Amino acid sequence: MLIGLILLIAGWVDPLPEPKPTDDTVMRVTLPTALQLARVRPIDIILAGRRIEVAQAQLERAQVLWIPDLVVGFDYLRHDGRIQRIDGDVITTSKSAIMAGAGPVAVFGLTDAIYSPLAAKQVVRGREAELQATLNDTLYQIADAYCVLQQARGELAGALDTLERIRDLERRVEKLAPGIVPEVEVSRVRAERVRREQEVERAKERWEVSSAGLSAVLRLDGISLLSPMEPPHLILELVDTAQPADEMREAARGMRPELGAQAASIEASNMRLKQERARPFIPSILLRGAATNPSGTLAGGVFGGGINDSLNDFAGRNSVDVQILWEMKNLGMGNVALVRERKAQRELAEQELVKTRYQVDAEVMQSRSRSLRAKARYGQAEQGLRYARESAEKNLQGLGQLRRSGEMVALVFRPQEAVQALQALSSAYNDFYLAVAERNRAQFQLYRALGNPAQAMEGPAEGTDRPEALPAPTPLAP
């Protein structure tokens, strides 16, 4: 369920008609759909999941160190020539022997059997935290790409609206020329119209490029263009930026999975340190079959043999060798070195945790600042767009109005003033949709910085509907 996602529409902004894609392979997509695809598509999440599987397999292997291996097979012995008896005499003989059976094999330190599973559990815990961090990063990556796509689509809508207005201005000026308006003014308007047409093409390019970027993140094949269903001036509110900065930092320290992964790493290194400290005092176990020579593998089975190639006198045989050994590596100096190594690894993990904590604090403060400043810029851009629209509309409406000054007749609004108003409108559109994108991106960045789980963004909130004031987008041919 989507937690904390509030959809806001600037009430005074009349939604522009949606630009109509010219490509046939178009996929309509919503932000919740893109976020759902984030859990199954990106390669980073798949890799993080595989790392968890590896860590779990290592944990399972550590948990069964107590259980010996079992070997099953045959052992055939053939000897020809000199051999020494137990009493010391050397004789010449030829003999054969064969055995079929099985035997246990176990060579392990009890310290490994005790501490390795504890360390492996912490490794699994760390890998799970890393997966959550990858999910959160992927959520932000996809949301960021989606906001860029929405910005490009909004800029295209603004460019198309400005182009229609400049075309209207061109028609009006042509009617006024050459009696009232000089021909040079017609050329000025036509040059601006060509410039607006170029801006439309650049906006289409930005839409297509940003669509390809989002498709690559989602690993969507065969999709030429992604077309969001939400309006490009949609505002997202995920986090209340009015919260005190200290509260945000504390919340992030308790929620960020990166810190959980570092804490698990410290625990794992601590288990390994205890393991090496206890190794000289806890024995190792050596268990093997002793029924076959010389190394000993099979313990029990059927054994028979005889002179030369004769194989007879088969009967059961069982022989097992168990040793309990205390090991001092390099007369104890190797154990001291291992303890120092594990201690250094633990201290390194502790320093990494401190470093990550400072990084988390910085990300919270940076994203909070970006969110606050982006919200302020949005309000300014919203106001600037309102004024730019009013100016453009009044200049177009007043273009045909005349005023007399003695014998002179002049236009109330000159064409160049209308051109400047439309240029300002174009810039205001770009500023507005940039502010919308930056505000939404800052919200997602703050959401991630606080450690909120990506799973909370998997679907629309219950009871959250699109505002009634928002009409369904209608195609507009370029």
User: Would the CA dihedral through 427, 429, 433, 438 be positive or negative?
Assistant: positive
pLDDT at residue 225 in the model: 87
Which helix (H) or strand (E) element contains residue 414? none
Label residue 316 left, alpha or beta by phi (over 0 means left) and psi (-120 to 50 means alpha). Answer: beta
pLDDT at residue 42 in the model: 63
Q: β-strands 408-411, 6-9: how paired?
A: unpaired
Q: Is residue 287 assigned to a domain?
A: no
Angle value at C-alpha 56, between 52 and 61, nearest 5 degrees: 150
Name residue 225's beta-bridge partners: 26
The count of domains in the chain is: 1
Q: Is residue 106 assigned to a domain?
A: no
Q: Is residue 63 assigned to a domain?
A: yes
User: Residue 62 is part of which domain span?
Assistant: 6-68+113-278+343-476
| Cβ neighbour number for residue 410 with a 10 Å cutoff | 10
Task: Map tokens 């994108």 to a residue.
Answer: 437
Please choose, from the candidates 439, 425, 21, the residue with its C-alpha nearest in 3D space to the C-alpha of residue 207: 21
Q: Is residue 319 assigned to a domain?
A: no
Q: Which tokens in the block code for residue 267?
A: 């625990």
Please choose, from the candidates 197, 190, 196, the residue with its C-alpha nearest in 3D space to the C-alpha of residue 174: 190
Q: Is residue 439 assigned to a domain?
A: yes
Q: Average of pLDDT values for 176-194?
A: 82
DSSP 8-state code for residue 451: T
Q: Is residue 423 assigned to a domain?
A: yes
Q: What residue ranges in 58-199 does DSSP mark as E strands?
A: 69-84, 90-109
- pLDDT more than 90, % of the chain: 38
Rounded CA separation 435/379 (Å):
9
Please choose, from the candidates 3, 14, 4, 10, the residue with its C-alpha nearest in 3D space to the C-alpha of residue 435: 10
Q: Is residue 99 assigned to a domain?
A: no
pLDDT digits (tens, 9 = 90+) for 208-264: 999 998 888 888 776 778 888 888 888 888 888 888 999 999 999 999 999 999 999
Residue 178 pLDDT greater than 80, yes or no: no
Q: Is residue 468 assigned to a domain?
A: yes
Rounded CA separation 423/54 (Å):
59
Question: Do residues 429 and 162 touch, judged by C-beta distance below 8 A?
Answer: yes
What is the CATH classification number for the domain harbouring 19? 1.20.1600.10
pTM higher than 0.75 for the full model?
yes
